[in-house]
Structure formats: C-alpha cells, structure tokens
Amino acid sequence: MMACQDDLMKQEQLSNSIFSEAKLPIEISNNNGQVILSVTDKAGQKHIFQGEKATNTQALTDYSWSYQPENTKKPIVLNFTNDRLSIDTGCNRQGTTWKVENNTIVTTDVMSTMMACEPALMKQEQFSSSLFQKRAIPFELNTTNVDQPTLTVADAQGQKYTFTGKMTPEAKYQSEGKTVFLEVAPETKSCTGVAPQTCLQVREVKYDDKGVKTYADKNWSLYYGQIEGFEHNPNQRVILRVKRFEVKNPAADQSSQADVLDMVVEQELVKKPNK
C-alpha cells in the first residue's frame, strides 16, 4: 500500500472500479495494425485500451497465408518463421529465406522437393516459384480484420495476388505447444460431457528419435471435443501428430487443452465385417 500522488491514486481507484467485477464485457478490434481493447464496467461505461502496434514481421509470422488460384483444387499456403518462408504449393514444398526491407519482402533462391505431380499442380508450383524466387516483393498487409487479414503481393510485372490469413495455433494460444502422437480408431462411441455427444476413441503412441514406434497405450480413451484440422473417417485407422496447447482461462464447458493436427503419420483402411 504505497502512497502516491493524487492523480495516480485517482487512476488506481478507477482501475479497481473497472476490474472489480469477475466477468466484464470486452470488445477487441484492430485499427491499422493496432489492437484496441474496449472494456465495459458495471455502470455501462466503456474504457478503451490501446495495444502496441504490430509490426509487419510479427503479423506475417502470426498467420498462415492461403491463395487459391482459379480452377485449382488446392491453395498455395505460406508460412513465415523467424527467417524462413515455407511454401506448400499443393504438390511440392518450397522454401527460401526472407526479411522485410523498404516495404518489400526480400527473398533468396527458392529450394524445392522434386515430386512428380499432375500438370495443374506443376503449373501452380512454377507460378509460386516465379513469385517468390530471389526478389524484393512489394506487398500490402491489411490487418483490419484480425480473424481474416490479407497479404497482397505483386509479381515482377506488377500483377497483384491476395493471400488470406489464418492465425497460427502458436499465436492463438501464445505458446509453442507440445508434440503428441494419437492413434484414432475408426469407431466412435456415445459419451456424455456437458451434453450427450459422440466421442473419438484415441490412445497415445510414442516414437524414438529415429521414428521407430516404442510405445502404444493398450487402452482406448474417449476424446471429448475436436482435434482442430482433423476430419474423422469411420473407414480409417490413423495415427496423428498433433500439437497440444494449454488453453488459458477456459470456459466452464471448455477443455483446458487444445489439440491441433500437425500431420497424418499413418493411415490404414479398415474393412468392416459383413452383417
């Protein structure tokens, strides 16, 4: 209980009056890259808090960016990390280094895996390579909608292409997450959480550093909720690599952890017995 100047004491009393309630209505918006938090106190008065303005680099790394060329089945997906740009072309994976300089994304030589693909995807791969191959790429970043920002990049001829952002799990949950392997059974089971529902059956699997399976739980467990990004197929047995994140301040009917699909490690079609 330190003694402070009168204006600071008044500010402290205001803070106490705002945050003395257990639950407060809030609104989060974005103004040209700056996050705005509006908090409504028990008297209905709104108080505005301004966050630090996000840098272009931070915004690029906080999202996965997708562009769907016309008449194609798969999008081109960009993932920016600290110094690497990974590009999923729908067939091969490409990569390059990157940095933001003078309002451009500066890349180096694009490296690629060498799988054979159908002609449409090969064409898409060539387009991606030409767009990001060793150049200073003019770009525009619009984060007005924090749930679906846009990244517009221009090719060497000035043609613009717009990618749509989806927040990465690491940014959403503010952590790197823990890697877990889960085997998912073809059959689901009825279960009851907050309400009756259908649950996946899962069991944990472990691998050593060489990718050799070293452990599989003998018992199946009911999985309440969803594995983000995973679509269950009743005719398949799969092993998934997921990233597990802690959920801060979960709601009463929400799990304290969230699993996000990273990749499918194994999958096997299962024949159902004839009835």
Write the DSSP string, 104-145.
Answer: EEEE-PPEE------HHHHHHHHHHHHHHSSSEEEEEEE-SS
Query: Quick one: which of 191, 207, 187, 186 has its CA closest to 268?
Result: 186
Place of tokens 């272009």: 56
Q: Give dist(CA 252, CA 275) in Å, integer.
A: 42
Query: Can you give the pTM of this predicted structure?
Result: 0.70
**How is residue 225 annotated by DSSP?**
S
For β-strands 34-40 and 189-192, DSSP reports them as: unpaired
Q: Give dist(CA 173, CA 169) in Å, integer.
A: 6
Please compute the mean of the pLDDT values over residues 125-133 and round it to a whole number. 95
**How long, in residues, is the chain?**
275
Contact 76, 64 (CB under 8 A): no
Domain ranges of the chain: 56-167, 173-269
Token representation of residue 129 = 């390579």
Q: Give dist(CA 152, CA 136) in Å, integer.
A: 14
pLDDT digits (tens, 9 = 90+) for 53-78: 556 888 999 999 999 988 888 999 99
For β-strands 213-216 and 221-223, DSSP reports them as: unpaired
- pLDDT band, very low/low/confident/very high, at 111 (cuts 50, 70, 90): very high
pLDDT digits (tens, 9 = 90+) for 137-157: 999 999 888 899 999 999 999
3-state secondary structure of 17: helix
CATH top class, domain 56-167: mainly beta
pLDDT of residue 19: 66
Q: Give dist(CA 83, CA 45) in Å, integer.
A: 44
Q: Give dist(CA 206, CA 212) in Å, integer.
A: 8
pLDDT of residue 151: 97
Residues 6+ apart with CB under 8 A from 18: 24, 39, 41, 47
pLDDT digits (tens, 9 = 90+) for 214-266: 998 999 999 998 999 999 999 999 999 999 999 888 777 778 899 999 999 99
Residue 46's identity, in one-letter code, is K
3-state secondary structure of 16: helix
Sign of CA dihedral 96, 99, 102, 108: negative
Residue 22 has pLDDT above 70, yes or no: no
